[in-house]
Structure 1
């Protein structure tokens, strides 16, 4: 069946009638000023005419116009009275009356109309930011050798995770080797001086004990039966002088008895007296010499030990300045404050137990690495922190100077996110605020504002806002561009209405 032009016109008229009927059912004829979201319709009048209209048409009951006033707010009633009066004036002037319509709750629900009271409150605004992930410079380490040398080996690559104290590279340094040799020389001097000082103290103590016994002038047989320990050369000196003194004293006593009995001559008597005085003088001299020299040796060795200890500390500081591991020096410190660790000092040069005191320094250095002898010029570059190697500027066989940056290690468990913020938004940002960060690849996290830069940067005159972001899984890589979102709340006295009501 073919549709003619007349048939098409009739069909269009029917559809238009159906649409008109549906619109009349869903849309009310007119929204009056009695609802909070409606606008009063009418011409503007001057102030005096409006006041006269309000006095003339005020209706205390509010039922003459057919409105359901229980559903209309008080301020809407006042507006309705004014508009009603204005409509009444227009009706008189134009000769017709326009009725007002109030919406029932069901009708308001159908059209989505909601009544709310405008009031003051907290205004929340959203600040959108653009930024870039940066390495946390607080956990970033640039490794620079403290001594020049040649790179022997490099055991890490970019991206390797390292632990604190791990060997990263090995160098050969002539300067460090000379410093180690000087340190070991002074170290051995301190060890030998400590041994000599302990022995001198023992000799001085034993000599003092013998001198105290000699004051009682015991018999030689009794004196020889006593044990005084190590006295060095003072034992022979004192025993010999005391023996001469003891013989001369006994000889004088016999000569005195013989001279009294007129058995010997006077010359023999005076000769015996002279021999006794001479032996006595030599004995007294030997006592003073032994007491003085034994004490003097202790004092001189103490002074020498303090000097060598100071030199040892200076040599240690030199090694530390050249970058040697402080823990390696622990194997060389066999003395406690310059004193021997053994209570008794062995004087046998072949004793193996005393090797830590009198052995060569190379043996002490070799104890650091599984008993092997480590070259004095060996320099180990150790990782100062646990992290990831992010840069490497060292190659095997390369000459490394103290100014060369050979490795960079970063702890990426936390990163910085630097946002460039316009001046208009800088005043609304404060340290401690929470920022929602996204990378555009389903990665979202929250960070805390740490820094709001006090100066502007770049041609755009923007300020840097730095956010600290936890990165335990390493998903936030330095150099990644991200977006930030911050909700800023302001407390003010302005009247607030929903955005949908505008």
Structure 2
């Protein structure tokens, strides 16, 4: 019984111990599980905190990005404002430069003051010239060497060097015994004719009446014929000295006239260019007294070089340039000397020019531009119309906004004119003279525009 109780107690003890061990094991398991769950939760919390922190960092980065975006946007706005400012400046500059983009405006009074010349664009003849040196000389066809025609002594001189004379004007007087002899011969012959005529008439009547011989009649007829010949000879001598038929008729009725007075008459209107006489000087019949030239026309003698001989032709137009304020003259080649000078090796071409104002003085050196070729071009302008602006060749065209510069392209050219292949249309009005003034106004406007910035 005791043994059974002891066994029961031992079993109960083992059971109690087993239960205790089981509870202890269960507690350990629970603790482990609790710790594991806590660690998991802690880990979860840590991870959550990390995620939250990362989120906050992302939020901060996002915020910083937004700030950067805002700054970038502000920078862009500032750039846009700057760009708008630059555009505004450009617009302002363009507005200020509208004076040359839209045109240079000038009033009618300013056009006249600045001597602005206008023309309408159109076709023309482009002339090719050969330039030749030359000299103005007296027109030899309108120059006279005055001689007395009879010997004598100078008694009066009315004209001096450089004086103008008129046709028929007395320029000097000489006293000539030779002239007196010629006049006396004329008057004596005239009287002898009257006597011979009367004698012939009488002899002819007596011969018909058979009173006188035929020989007397023939002698009277011969004498009359000889006196008529002598009279004609005396008349011709006086005509050769410049006396007219009207004067000879007056001479027959003037018995107290001075036979020795001989008046020197100007043969045409002109200028005394040489004078060789003085009072009291004894002259021979061929002595030079004056040289008178009509300077209303002059010769221009041009020297043609051998290389230019094939191109210069009679009838070609020529432009004579003397310079020094003397205007240009136009003429025609009227003569080309067929012989080349031995010393100069040049030929001579001559043009006769009108010189009513006396600006072309004999002895002046000139330049002749002979037109040797003409070309028809669609748009021809004078070189004075061209200007260089900002490295471009321009002409100023008249528009409703003013005078506007237009870039042009140059084709063929001569010394005075140029062909335009682009930039100027037919019938457009453009500036031919005074373009430099418009260019100055254009540059002035740009300078003031740049200075204001």
* TM-score between both structures, scaled by the size of structure 2: 0.50
Aligned pair count reads: 258
Q: Which secondary structure does the structure 1 equivalent of 2:340 belong to?
A: strand
Q: Which residue of 2 aligns with 1:451?
A: 335
Aligned: 1:316 with 2:235: yes
Unaligned runs of 5+ in 1: 1-17, 23-121, 209-289, 333-362, 368-372, 492-496
CA displacement 1:38-95 (0-9 Å, x = unmatched): xxxxxxxxxxxxxxxxxxxxxxxxxxxxxxxxxxxxxxxxxxxxxxxxxxxxxxxxxx
Mapping of 1:216-365 within 5 angstroms?
290-293=209-212, 299-321=218-240, 323-327=241-245, 330-331=248-249, 364=252
CA distance in 2, matches of 1:453, 1:446: 20
Q: Which residue of 2 aligns with 1:60?
A: none
Q: Which residue of 2 aligns with 1:366?
A: 254
Aligned: 1:185 with 2:104: no
User: C-alpha displacement at 1:392, in angstroms?
Assistant: 1.0
Unaligned runs of 5+ in 2: 1-85, 91-124, 376-409, 413-419, 422-453
User: C-alpha displacement at 1:129, in angstroms?
Assistant: 2.4
Q: Which residue of 2 aligns with 1:348?
A: none
* TM-score between both structures, scaled by the size of structure 1: 0.46
CA displacement 1:21-47 (0-9 Å, x = unmatched): x9xxxxxxxxxxxxxxxxxxxxxxxxx
Q: Which residue of 2 aligns with 1:135?
A: 138
CA distance in 2, matches of 1:160, 1:391: 10
CA displacement 1:347-375 (0-9 Å, x = unmatched): xxxxxxxxxxxxxxxx72627xxxxx322
CA distance in 2, matches of 1:123, 1:168: 51
CA distance in 2, matches of 1:484, 1:456: 19
Q: Which residue of 2 aligns with 1:411?
A: 294
Q: Residue 479 and residue 384 in structure 1: after superposition, are their counterparts in 2 closer, same or farther (change >3 A)?
A: same
Q: Which secondary structure does the structure 2 equivalent of 1:457 belong to?
A: coil
Mapping of 1:106-117 within 5 angstroms?
none
Q: Which residue of 2 aligns with 1:466?
A: 350
User: C-alpha displacement at 1:449, in angstroms?
Assistant: 0.3
Q: Residue 392 and residue 328 in structure 1: after superposition, are their counterparts in 2 closer, same or farther (change >3 A)?
A: farther
User: C-alpha displacement at 1:179, in angstroms?
Assistant: 2.7
CA displacement 1:220-239 (0-9 Å, x = unmatched): xxxxxxxxxxxxxxxxxxxx
Q: Which residue of 1 aligns with 2:403?
A: none
Q: Residue 452 and residue 296 in structure 1: after superposition, are their counterparts in 2 closer, same or farther (change >3 A)?
A: closer
Q: Which residue of 2 aligns with 1:48?
A: none
CA distance in 2, matches of 1:170, 1:189: 31
User: C-alpha displacement at 1:312, in angstroms?
Assistant: 1.8
Aligned: 1:436 with 2:319: yes
| Contact kept? 1:324, 1:379, Cα under 8 Å | no
| Contact kept? 1:447, 1:469, Cα under 8 Å | yes
Aligned: 1:151 with 2:154: yes
**Larger Rg belongs to:** 2
Q: Which residue of 1 aligns with 2:368?
A: 484
Q: Which secondary structure does the structure 2 equivalent of 1:142 belong to?
A: strand
Q: Which residue of 1 aligns with 2:281?
A: 398
CA distance in 1, matches of 2:298, 2:326: 18
Q: Which secondary structure does the structure 2 equivalent of 1:159 belong to?
A: coil
| Contact kept? 2:316, 2:372, Cα under 8 Å | no
RMSD of the TM alignment (CA)? 3.3
Q: Which secondary structure does the structure 1 equivalent of 2:338 belong to?
A: strand
User: C-alpha displacement at 1:130, in angstroms?
Assistant: 2.3
User: C-alpha displacement at 1:152, in angstroms?
Assistant: 0.8
Q: Residue 411 and residue 365 in structure 1: after superposition, are their counterparts in 2 closer, same or farther (change >3 A)?
A: farther
User: C-alpha displacement at 1:296, in angstroms?
Assistant: 6.8
Q: Which residue of 2 aligns with 1:110?
A: none
Aligned: 1:171 with 2:163: no
User: C-alpha displacement at 1:124, in angstroms?
Assistant: 5.2
